[in-house]
Amino acid sequence: MVHNFNAGPSILPEQVLKKAAQAILNFNDTGLSILEVGHRTPLFESVLDEARSLVRELMEIGPEYEVLFLHGGATTQFMQVPMNLLDDAGTAAYIDTGVWSSKAIQYARQFGNVKVLASSKDANYTYIPTDFSVDPPVTYLHITTNNTIYGTEWHKFPFSHGVPVVADMSSDILSRVIDHSRFDLIYAGAQKNMGAAGTTLVVIKRSLLGKVQRKIPGILDYQKHIEAGSMLNTPPVFAIYVSLLTLQWLKEQGGVAAIDKLNTEKASLLYATLDSLPIFRPTVATQDRSRMNVCFVMKDGKQELEQLFLDRCKKEGMVGVKGHRSVGGFRVSLYNALPLSSVKDIVAVMEDFAKTHG
Ligand SMILES: *Cc1c(COP(=O)(O)O)cnc(C)c1O
């Protein structure tokens, strides 16, 4: 038995893997592999249509939004967002909550002015800044809703002043009930919580587009993708299919409300254990704890236990527990597909380890 706590690419539901494997051999009893069908055929068009409509249904997205499945990962969106939305003379506001938002900031600077309204870099990104205000004129505000590397997550969205909000939701997309209508553009690489690497979900309010002067290469122009229905060129067929299967699975689980409840239960159990044991210390501010990526270290004076704990996890078939190099310690990711039983198992290992070494 393997427990997959990887941060990304990460665990997918077994049912998704089985169906994806089957579709590689024989897709929907066509005698063809999903890898062999043309993207402009009814076979694939129905995959894309259903994936789009499940995104609308599960995220409760209104008709004023478009749903795109693009190539290039979230990193391409760091560039594509400012290229499409920010004029040379315009100013975009960013909140810096870690490596990914810093990259987004760096990319945006190539297209216009960037104001970093707040940053938690001073404390190695262990909290979400709240002390900022968004003062127009600002073209948009950009946030990273879950900071995969540091384990912080925005639980409140303290802005409601008419400035469009762009959010990188790569690592908490479809994990919790939030009012998506508060966002004007949402993007997420699929490989953390909604499928396989290779496609990126973009949900965008149509009214945001058509406002910049620069010439945008067609393949990077949201408007062109919308007109072509995510078929400007060959879409990442298989990655979109895996997203479809993951979305279907999520709907069967009871949708976002049901997975929110389960994710809360998983995270609460793990944090309660960390808080109660004498050897571990969660690294982030309590109010900003992520329910997707739980980061912790050994308490001061106990650091020599770090490798021992990693060895123990390895022995128990637990993969992906080592923290990111910029934080150290441990990171346990609790994405939608991770069952509660895996959390119970790692909690039992932690308790046993603390009894022996505490
Ligand atoms: C993983 C991740 C990225 C980078 O995604 P790619 O698809 O590899 O470009 C960006 N933002 C967040 C929040 C991430 O977790």
Do both 143 and 285 map to the same domain? no
Tell me if 2 is assigned to some domain: no
Do 106 and 237 sit in the same domain of this protein?
A: yes
* Pocket flag, ligand 1, residue 189 (CB < 6 Å): yes
- 145 CB within 6 A, ligand 1: no
Query: 82 and 186, same structural domain?
Result: yes
Q: Are strands 152-153 and 146-147 parallel, antiparallel or unpaired?
A: antiparallel
- 8 within a domain of the structure (yes/no): no
For the chain, the domain total comes to 2
The residue out of 231, 252, 273 marking a domain boundary is 252
Residues 172 and 264 placed together within one structural domain of the fold: no
Q: How far is the CA of 9 from the centre of ligand 1 (A)?
A: 10
Indicate whether 4 belongs to any domain: no
pLDDT at 160 over 80: no
Q: Which of 198, 233, 252 is the last residue of a domain?
A: 252
What spacing in Å lies between the alpha carbon of 251 and ligand 1's midpoint? 24
Q: Identify the domain containing residue 313 by its residue range.
A: 255-357
pLDDT classification of 100: cutoffs 50, 70, 90: very high
Q: Does residue 223 share a domain with residue 266?
A: no
Render pLDDT for 231-281 as a digit per residue (tens, 0 to 9): 999 999 999 999 999 999 999 999 999 999 999 999 999 999 999 999 999
Active site residues: 100, 168, 192
Find out whether the peptide bond into 42 is cis, omega within 30 degrees of 0. Answer: no
Q: Are residues 241 and 262 in the same domain?
A: no
> Considering the domain boundaries, does residue 26 fall inside one?
yes
Which amino acid, residue 37? V
Q: What is the pTM of this model?
A: 0.98
154 lines ligand 1 (CB under 6 A): no
Report pLDDT for 162. Answer: 84
To test the pocket of ligand 1, the residue of 148, 172, 292, 333 to mutate (highest count of ligand atoms within 8 Å of its CB) is: 148
